[in-house]
Structures are given as structure tokens and as C-alpha cells.
Chain A
Amino acid sequence: MANGPILMRENRYHQIKAVLARLRLDSSARLVVLVDKDGQQIAVHGELGDLDTTSLASLVAGNVAATGGMAKLIGEDEFPTLSHEGAKESIHISVIGRILLVVVFDDRSSLGLVKLRSKQISQELASAFAEIERESATPGARSALPFAEITDEEIDSLFFHA
């Protein structure tokens, strides 16, 4: 693998969740999701209902990748924000380094408010994720991986039902 795995410890997870909770409250949003650019969901906070956030994360990453490709074609590095406005529900996406902040909101909020609040917390999220990346790269973190001592039998056991 070109890069090692990203390890998110519980304290970082709760730190990020707290930031998302604050953003959701301040922006009157329905839901806030943090996704990495590869399509992995990092954390989510809000009214999930029956929303499939795994699929949402994958599609957001695809969307950002596609618009990033368009940006490069016209000489831009990337488009730092994307907004999709529907009749009832809307989505605002902020690109913060290698993470994507996704806010789902309805008519209890507005695009302007969501944009403003997202921008206000983006630096905090960027710093938290930079810490996660730094912690993931330390030799101690790697040796403490849950899979560091996994046996071939344990790997094989995953496939009994497949």
C-alpha cells in the first residue's frame, strides 16, 4: 500500500463528534457527516432516519472527485465547496484537505448559514484530522494495530459464510 492505514482513536472520534454536533446546532442542519476523500465515513451526527450514510459517503467522494477533475481541466486546483439544492432537502460539501464536511439541511436552515458555519469550523476539523494522520504514522500506533498479530486462521474464518 502506498500509505499506511488511518487510525482514529476514541478520544479523536469524540472530539470530532463534538465539533459536528456544534456545527449541526449552529447551522440548524438535519445531519452533518465527515467523510474522507476515498469515500470512507469518519463520523456522523444528527437525524439519520433511514438515510444510508455509507452510500452517501461514497457518492460524496465520487462527486468531489469528479468536480475536482473538472476544476483541473479549467485550470483550478479544486472547487472548495459544492452545493446541491433540492425542493426540500439540500446538501453542502466543504473540501478541507483530504476530508469532506457534508451538511444535509432543509428549510429550517439556509445555504448562507450552512456555508458560514461550515467555514467557521473547518480549521478546527483540519487540525483534528492532521493530528489523526500524525498519530497514525507513529511507529507505536502501527505496532498497536488490532491486526498486527492476526493469524491466517482468523483471516480464513471471515470467509466461511462467503
Chain B
Amino acid sequence: MTFINYASREINCKIVYYGPGLCGKTTNLQYIYDSTATQAKGKLISLATETDRTLFFDFMPLELGTVRGFKTRFHLYTVPGQVFYEASRKLILKGVDGVVFVADSQEERMDANIESLYNLEENLQVYGYDLMKLPYVLQLNKRDLPNVIPSPDLTSELQRKGEPVIEAVASTGAGVFDTLKAVAKQVLTELRKS
């Protein structure tokens, strides 16, 4: 939930990167972290297993700049993608202002994408959120791999409501900031409406 502090003149919003295991959620955050000036970011916290799989969440605060005298800060989170971390994945969605669904473009991950997307909708409902009303972006990741599904096919299968669809290769950074910008813009626009 957006938190506006008039004393420190800050606006804080929460964005969650969701998607199936190994789709590149943490890679998105890692690229943003590596590419952002030190003064605009905090620490990147990764609660991961010994094999570097996300166990609970990754977190990094990112300051985008000042609007109308208020610093706008986005708290970026990832969820654990592996199916059996369902309980902790659900917890991260609490208070979310915007969601990025990171889809794995490889053919063999199509079922995992669909399962994760259903899981997202279900878990949002637990907190009273409706994906149809939430700031939301679909990222088609791993576009550089040889066995990817064509983007139009992937889009027709996974797009839910005409949300922005962004092709990405998170490991090289392609599409990573476009994705962040697309969701952050929706969050701020939503704030204007509220």
C-alpha cells in the first residue's frame, strides 16, 4: 500500500515481480541494482537458498526522483517461484501497489507460466486485490534463447487485460527498465486517480 509521509516528504510504493521458478525475477532486480547510481538505491537483500534460489524474497529500494516536492521511492520485491514455496510467496503480495509478471518464453515453460499466472490471481484475491484493477505489466523474458514461443502466441496466451507487454532479456538488461517504467507509471497514475 502506498505510504505518503508529509514530514519526510516521501511517497513509498511496493512493486512485486512474480512468475514461475527460474523465469528471471531476481535477474531483473539484480540488473536494476547493478545499473542504478548508488545514491538512488539501497541494499539488495536476497533471502536465498544455498543454491541461490529465492527462498523468501529479494528486496531493493529504488528512488526515482522528486515530484511536487515528494521523493518517490519504489520498494521492489520478488517472490520465490518454486511451486512448493506457496505459503511464503503469498505473503509478499500483501500491500502490493503494482505487479510485474515475468514469463519464461521457452516452450517447455509454458505450462509453468500459466500455472503461475493463475496462482498470482488466486493469491491477489486473498488480499482483496483484483488483477484486472491492479497496475500490471507482462514481461516476456529470455527472448534470446533458441526455443522460445513467438511473442504474439505467448501474448495471446498470457495477456489478461491489455496490459503492456515487454520483451526482455533480463541477463543483458534488455527490456528491464522499460518494464519497471511501465509498471511504475501505472502505479503513479493510479495514485493520481485515488
- Interface residues of A, Cβ cutoff 8 Å to B: 1-10, 13-14, 36-40, 42, 52, 54-55, 58-59, 62, 65-66, 69, 142, 145-150, 154-159, 161-162
Contact = CB atoms under 8 A, between A and B. Distances in A.
Contacts of B1: 1, 3, 5-6, 36, 38, 40
B192 A150 contact: yes
Contacts of A54: 42-43, 61
28 contacts: A2-B128, A2-B130, A3-B1, A6-B4, A7-B4, A8-B3, A8-B5, A9-B7, A13-B5, A38-B95, A39-B14, A39-B75, A42-B5, A54-B61, A55-B43, A55-B45, A58-B45, A58-B75, A62-B47, A62-B91, A65-B94, A146-B70, A155-B185, A155-B188, A157-B67, A158-B65, A158-B67, A162-B36
Contacts of B17: none
A65 B95 CA distance: 12
B83 to A, nearest CB: 17
Contacts of B134: 1
A147 B68 contact: yes
A146 B68 contact: yes
Given A58-B77, A158-B184, 18 more contacts: A2-B128, A3-B1, A8-B6, A39-B75, A40-B3, A58-B75, A59-B59, A65-B92, A66-B56, A69-B87, A69-B88, A142-B194, A147-B67, A147-B191, A147-B192, A154-B67, A158-B65, A162-B64
A159 B62 CA distance: 12
Contacts of A36: 1, 3, 95
Given A58-B75, A65-B94, A154-B68, A1 B190 contact: yes
Interface in B53-92: 56-57, 59, 61, 64-65, 67-70, 72, 75, 77, 87-88, 91-92
Interface of B: 1-8, 11-12, 14, 36-37, 40, 42-43, 45, 47, 56-57, 59, 61, 64-65, 67-70, 72, 75, 77, 87-88, 91-92, 94-95, 97, 127-130, 133-134, 177, 180-181, 184-185, 188-192, 194
Contacts of A66: 56, 88, 91
A130 B67 CA distance: 28
Contacts of B185: 155-156, 159
B56 A62 contact: yes
